[in-house]
Structure 1
Amino acid sequence: SDLIQEAGLGLMKAADKVDPDRGVRFSTYAVWWIKAGIQDYVMRNWSLVRTGSTSSQKSLFFNMRRVQAQIEREAMQDGGPLDRSQLHEMIATEIGVPVGDVEMMDGRLSGTDYSLNATQASDEDGREWIDIIEDEDSIDSNTVEAAHDQDNLRTWLLGAMDGLSEREKFIVKERQIIDEPRTLESLGQELGLSKERVRQIEAAAFTKMRRFLEKNAREVQNFL
C-alpha cells in the first residue's frame, strides 16, 4: 500500500543519513524517519487543502483530538463543559503551541472538503459550483469598452496634433490637456500675443484636428 511505500522511503532515507560513528542503533534511528515519512503522507492526503507544514501544526494534527477528548472528560468530571475559547487555550497549553494555531486546526479538522467541480444537486443544467463563484478582480464589459475607446481617442488625438504647428500644439496642450488648464491671458503674456489672438489660434488648431479626424478615422465621428 501507499503507507508501506512511504515507510520504505523513510527506511532508505535513514540508511542514507545514518552515521555509525555516533553510536546510535540503526533501528532506533530508522524508526524516526519511517514515522516522519508516514506522518507527512497522512497530512498530504488527509485533505484537498494543505493541512499544515510547521512543527506546531503537525503536532496539532496528530494530537489535538486526543488531547481535546482528555480535557473534555476531565472537565465533565469536575462539573461541567468548557466553552470553545477555554478549550482552545487549554489545548494550546497542553501541546505547547499558539492558540491561533489551535483555532485554525480545529476549523480544518471540523470542515469537509468539497470539489468546486462537483455538480450542484439542485441544478438541472449540471452546472458546477465553480461556475457561480464571482471573480472579484474581473472587469465588466463596459469598463473594457470605455478603456478601449480612450486608447483609440488618444491615438487619434496624437495623430491629429502632428499636423499642427509648434505654437498650436503648445496652446492646445496648455489649454486642454494638462491637469490645470491655463487661461488665454496667461498664454498671451508668455507668447507676446493678445488674449483674442490666442483664442483664434486655438480655434484654428481645433478646426485642423477635426478635419484630420474626419478624414482619417471614420470611427471617431461617433465621439465628435
Structure 2
Amino acid sequence: MSQNLQPLDWMTPGANIAAYIQGANAIAILSAEEERALAEDLYYHEDLDAARRLVLSHLRFVVYIARSYNGYGLPLGDLIQEGNVGLMKAVKRFNPEKGVRLVSFAVHWVRAEIHEYVLRNWRIVKVATTKAQRKLFFNLRGAKKSLAWLSNDEAKAIADDLGVEVSQVMEMEKRLAGHDECFDYSSDDDESPYQAPALYLEDKTADPALLAEIAETGNDSHNRMTKALAELDERSRDIIQSRWLTDNKATLHDLAARYKISAERVRQLEKNAMKKVRMSMEA
C-alpha cells in the first residue's frame, strides 16, 4: 500500500481533473482492520502519517459525492477540494471506538463543506441562510416533476415531505428561478427592452463634488446668518431668534408681554430686523 501513498502531482484537483480522479481511484481501499488500526494510531497517538493514509484512501469517496453536485454549474475541482476539507475534518474527529466505518462518519462532513461552498458561490447573493431554506435549496429541484411552476397541491406535498411551510417552498422556487444580472451589461441590440442596473441605480445625489458644494454653501450661509444677527441690537436679535430660530416659536403676544410693548410694535421690530439680516447676508 505504501507505494500508492507517496506524494503525487495529481493530489490537488486542478486543471487536469481527470488525472486527479484516476490517481484517487488508484489508491487501495482499506480493509476494516487496516482502517481501525490507523484510526487508533491517530486517535490515541496523534499519528499524522496514519491520518494522511486515512484521508488518501477516501479521496475516491469525496469525488463520488462531489460529482452529485455538478448540476449547480460550479467547477468539479472546487467541489472536490471543499469535500476534501470536510474529509480531513472528519478524520480528525473520528473515534474508532464508535464501531462505524470512517466513510459512514465522514459523509456528513464532506456534504456540509460542499453545501457551504455551493451556497456561497451559486449566486452573488446567498439564496439560503436558514435551516429550512438550505433543506429546500438542495431538495426542491429533485422534488419537482417538471420545469413548470409548482401548483398549490405540489407545493403542499413538497412542504409536508420536507417539513417546511408552503410559503417557504414557493419563495425558494422563485429564488431558484431567478438569475444574477450584470451591473453594467451593454447590448448591441438597440431594440432590446433590457437596461443594465448601472443605468438606473446611480444615485445622482451622491456626487462628491455636489455634496462638497452643498456643504460649503450651508456653512457659508450659517456664517453669514451668525454675522448678521450679531449686528442687531439685543432686543431685535431676541425677537428674530424667538420667532424663527427655535423649536418652540414665540408669538407676537408672547414677545409683547416680555418687552411690555404692543404686538404691533413687535411686528414692526421683527420686520425691520429681518430686512437688516437679509441685506447683511446679501452684501
Taking structure 1 as the reference length, the TM-score comes to: 0.69
Any residues of structure 2 matched to 1:12-161 within 5 Å, and which?
12-69=88-145, 84-123=151-190, 129-134=196-201, 139=205, 152-161=220-229
Q: Which amino acid in 2 is paired with 1:160?
A: A
Q: Among residues 227, 233, 255, which one is paired with 1:165 in the alignment? A: 233
In structure 1, distance between residues paired with 2:127 and 2:274: 65
C-alpha distance after superposition, 1:76-122 (max 9, x if no partner): xxxxx997222211111112111122112211222333322322342
Q: Are the equivalent residues in 2 in contact too, given 1:168–1:205 (CA < 8 A)?
A: yes
Q: Distance in 1 between matches of 2:280 and 2:164?
A: 73
Match in the other structure for 1:182: 251
Any conservation in 2 of the 1:161–1:209 contact (CA below 8 Å)? Answer: yes
Decide whether the 8 Å contact of 1:43 with 1:51 is kept in 2.
yes
**Helix, strand or coil for the counterpart of 2:277?**
helix
The alpha-carbon deviation at position 176 of structure 1 amounts to: 4.3
Extract unaligned runs of 5+ from structure 1. 73-80, 216-224
Q: Look up the SS of the partner of 1:164 in the other structure.
A: coil
Q: Is the CA contact (8 Å cut-off) linking 2:136 and 2:172 kept in structure 1?
A: yes
Q: Indicate the residue corresponding to 2:261 in structure 1.
A: 193
1:182 positional shift: 1.8
Contact 1:60 1:105 in 2 (8 A): yes
SS, match of residue 115 in structure 2: helix
With 200-209 and 38-47 compared, the bigger mean Cα shift is at: 200-209
Structure-2 separation of matches of 1:117 and 1:42: 25
Structure 1 residue 149, shift from structure 2 partner: 5.8
Structure 1 pair 166–18 and aligned structure 2 pair: CA distance change class (3 A): farther
Give the alignment's TM-score, normalised by structure 2: 0.56
Distance 1:2 1:130 in 2: 30
Where 2:107 maps in the other structure, the secondary structure is helix
| Pairing 1:212–2:280 present | yes
Write the distance in 2 (CA, Å) between the matches of 1:16 and 1:174: 75
RMSD: 3.7
Deviation at 1:33, TM superposition (A): 1.0
Query: Could you tell me whether the CA contact under 8 Å between 1:116 and 1:130 is conserved in 2?
Result: yes
1:218 aligns to what?
Answer: none
Aligned-partner SS, 2:231: coil
Offset from partner CA, 1:136-175 (integer Å, 9 cap, x none)? x75499x978887666444322221112232221122234
CA contact 2:137–2:172 (8 Å) conserved in 1 = yes
Q: CA deviation at 1:14?
A: 0.7
**CA distance 1:40–1:202, change in 2 (3 Å):** closer
